[in-house]
Chain A
Amino acid sequence: MKKVKVNSRCIIYLVILIMLSSITAEAQRMRHNSGGNRNRSNQNVQRSNTQQNRSINGGYDKPTNRDFSNANTDRNLNTSTRDVNKTNIKERNPSVNNDLPSGNRNNSNINSGNRNNSINNDLPNNNRNNANINSGNRNVNINNKNVYVRPPAYPYPRPPYHYGGYNYYAYHPYHYHPYHPYYYGPAYNPWGVFVATIAVTAIIVNANSQKYYYDQGVYYVQSSGGYTVVQAPVGATITVLPEGSQTVVVNETTNNYYYGGTYYEKSDSGYTVVPPTAGTVVENLPEGGEEVKIGDVTYVKIGETYYQPIVQDGQNMYEVVNVEAVKE
């Protein structure tokens, strides 16, 4: 019964969201494709160059003769004759389909150098994940198609933030605080960085038929003349968690272990890399991320994951955002 109540509440939120999204799209704006009734002579377009160049809007477009074919130009100031009740107002009943595939928006461009390497982790997944990372004087193209956000454990109590055909869900309200990357120590390198050598203690980890080198929470793939740091491949398993890993709560029965933007889950053979779960709250974000303004909200994007700045128990934190495409 409680679940039904929660679901019905979510549906109400969504209905209102859909209604508002169409409203706010022109909230302060009328439609300006214009000219349905316009019957403009060519003479009208002729303005002096001076006026055209200096006017704040290029000059007013006033037709010499408007087409009022549908209009009754006779005025009737007796407004009581007007149908102010607007009985023909459309009752909008938007159909809401919440059963959408997780569509994470994943196009990032990070420049910190100029060198060319190309790494494709071309694993089956529907998410849009194209990262272009120029780092350490090399251009590194990494297609991480194995990254996505796992669905949240519980229904969201608040409507999502809507922007550009996507809904951004979070449990906590948005509370901006600047992105200051956490320093994970000298062994940590952000994704995309090229290094000539790696520590001799690095171990080989296989995941998704690809060989990775792992050292102290960082994953590398071999590239020409060295190694490039990549996002931890989902499915890779390590036996010992990197020092400094933190336990984060995913739901009532599951914890994840978090280190430098990577999430691990306890498995039979050790700790396996898993995608972040929507709603997970973390304290620190690694370097290599960027702040992205999406409408009125500024998220932090680490790899392909969006984090919403929040405050929890008086402390600045970040929540993994669930991004879902709105089905038209």
Chain B
Amino acid sequence: MRIVYLGVIFLILSFSSYSQTPQIDTVAIMLLDKMGSVIGELESCSFTLNTSNDGIDVDLGLIKYFNVHQVYMVGPDKMLINSQGDKGHRGFWYNGKKLMYYSYTENNYGAIDAPDNIIATIDSVNKNYGIDIPAADFFYPTFTDDLIAQSENIIYIGKSKVAAKDCFHIIAESEHMSIQIWISDDALFLPVKFVIVYYDAVPNVQYEATFSDWRINPDLPNAMFEFSPPPGADQITILAK
């Protein structure tokens, strides 16, 4: 199957012409669609995401911040995120009704009413509370279309090696940002890495994330998505935007 798929890719490559203004590269779209299709068929998954992002300090310039996130999802309505890094050690538990937040660092917790599925919840908490779910973009069912809608160019750059894995390297760019995505060159076409460079900031700031420890359709118990406040934890109010 993989050979057939790669064959299709090379067939398209062979029909390439030499346009002056490449915009939407069908190979890139095929790869993105393949990745999206695989993710869309997952009933559960887990992965680790190592991220870095830049902050700007007036005196010191760019400062790099690092975070590590462990993400667990069970469709359609269970999610657990454990994050450690510059924002402290935090957890989010989504059980289909509420998103519970707990700060291990501050030993306090809060609850947010959530929609009944993962994507609506990701969208809701980001819009209303500014909470960024790690690598959330890749789980939107319309990921590729959204990328097309906001990009001027989407190009398949070529094969690349990231974290000892063979990858397809794609870049999508607009006047505001460039998004580079590395998709694994194996049977699953899962995302391996992505980098976003924001052109609007001076100097340009960058967000980088690397996936690891992908587990496909693992058997995850429902109990792990239920949060119980530890003894002594304070309940706090989470203010919406």
Chain A residues close to B by CB (< 8 Å): 9, 12-13, 16, 19-20, 22-23, 25, 27-38, 51-63, 66, 68, 70-79, 81-82, 86, 88-90, 92, 105, 159, 163-165, 176, 178-179, 290-296, 298, 301
CB–CB A35/B237 < 8 A: no
Q: Verify B146–A71 contact, CB threshold 8 A.
A: no
Cross-chain contact B146 with A31 (CB below 8 angstroms) = yes
Assuming the contacts A27-B207, A38-B145, asked whether A75 and B26 have C-beta atoms less than 8 A apart, the reply is: yes
Q: Taking A31-B150, A163-B241 as contacts, is the C-beta distance between A76 and B16 under 8 angstroms?
A: yes
CB <8 Å contact, B40 and A57: yes
- Check: B230 CB closer than 8 A to any chain A CB: no
CB-CB under 8 A from A90, the residues of chain B are: 175-176, 199-200
CB distance A57 to B118 under 8 Å?
yes
- Expressed in whole angstroms, the minimum distance between the Cβ of A84 and any Cβ of chain B is 9
- Among B42-50, B160-168, B221-229, the one that faces the other chain is B42-50
Task: Tell which of B13, B20, B73, B134 touches A28, judged by Cβ atoms closer than 8 Å.
Answer: B134
List residues 63-88 of chain B with CB under 8 A from any CB of chain A.
73-76, 87
* Residue contact A70 to B23, C-beta cutoff 8 Å: yes
List the A residue with the shortest CB-CB distance to B134.
A28
Q: Is the interface of B mostly helix, strand, loop or mixed?
A: mixed
Inter-subunit contact A72/B175 (CB<8 Å): no
The complex places the Cα of A294 from the Cα of B73 at a distance, in Å, of: 26
Nearest to A55 among chain B residues (CB) is B75
Contact partner of B146 among A20, A32, A82, CB < 8 A? A32
Q: Which residues of A contact B12 (CB under 8 A)?
A: 75
- Taking a contact as CB atoms closer than 8 A, the residue among B76, B134, B155 that contacts A55 in the complex is B76
Where the two chains meet, the residues of B that have a C-beta atom closer than 8 Å to any C-beta of A are 12-13, 16-27, 29, 33, 36-37, 39-45, 51, 53, 55-56, 58, 73-76, 87, 101, 103, 105-108, 110, 117-119, 123, 126, 129-130, 132, 134-137, 139-150, 153, 155-158, 173, 175-176, 179, 196, 198-202, 205, 207, 209, 234, 236-241
Q: Which residues of A contact B58 (CB under 8 A)?
A: 9, 12-13, 16, 159
Given contacts A16-B58, A20-B56, A34-B142, contact A55 B43 (CB under 8 A): yes
Shortest CB-to-CB span from B218 to chain A, Å, is 12
List 13 extra interface pairs beyond A66-B29, A293-B101, CB under 8 A: A20-B205, A28-B53, A28-B196, A57-B39, A58-B119, A61-B36, A74-B17, A74-B22, A76-B17, A79-B157, A81-B22, A164-B239, A179-B234
Decide if B141 touches A60 in the complex (CB within 8 Å): yes
Q: Is the CB of A34 within 8 A of B149?
A: yes
Residue of B nearest to A301 (CB): B237
Most chain B CB within a 10 A radius of its CB, from A9, A59, A301: A59
Give the nearest-CB partner of B140 in chain A. A32
- Return chain A residues, CB-CB under 8 Å to B146: 30-35
